Amino acid sequence: MSLRISVDHAEHPEWGTRGLPERVRCRVSLSAASRDLRALADEVRASVVSECVRELDLGGLTVDVHIEDLHD
């Protein structure tokens, strides 16, 4: 599995300063042999949400998961 993440931040009035994260976009590459791609995507989403809460104290983020590639 390969995972790439980008984060969308809220608008902030000060130049050069980001607001709080609002949305996390995950792009994953998974094995074509995976039986349940939806379940894997849900696991990725749940893990990202859990780590954002645990490590960053950021709850309520929207997490999008896009299966970008299937490989052998």
3-state secondary structure of 51: helix
Backbone φ/ψ region at 56: left (φ over 0), alpha (ψ -120 to 50), beta: alpha
Determine the structural domain holding residue 23 and report its residue range: 2-11+18-71
**What's the pLDDT band for 12 if we cut at 50, 70, 90?**
confident
Structurally, how many domains does the chain consist of? 1
Task: Give the pLDDT confidence score for residue 34 in this predicted structure.
Answer: 86
CA dist., res. 42 & res. 1, Å (int):
14
Q: What is the pLDDT of residues 16-71, one digit of tens each?
A: 788 889 999 999 998 888 889 999 999 999 999 999 999 999 988 999 999 998 98
Task: Give the pLDDT confidence score for residue 72 in this predicted structure.
Answer: 82
Query: pTM for the full model?
Result: 0.82
3-state secondary structure of 64: strand
Task: Give the pLDDT confidence score for residue 18 in this predicted structure.
Answer: 84
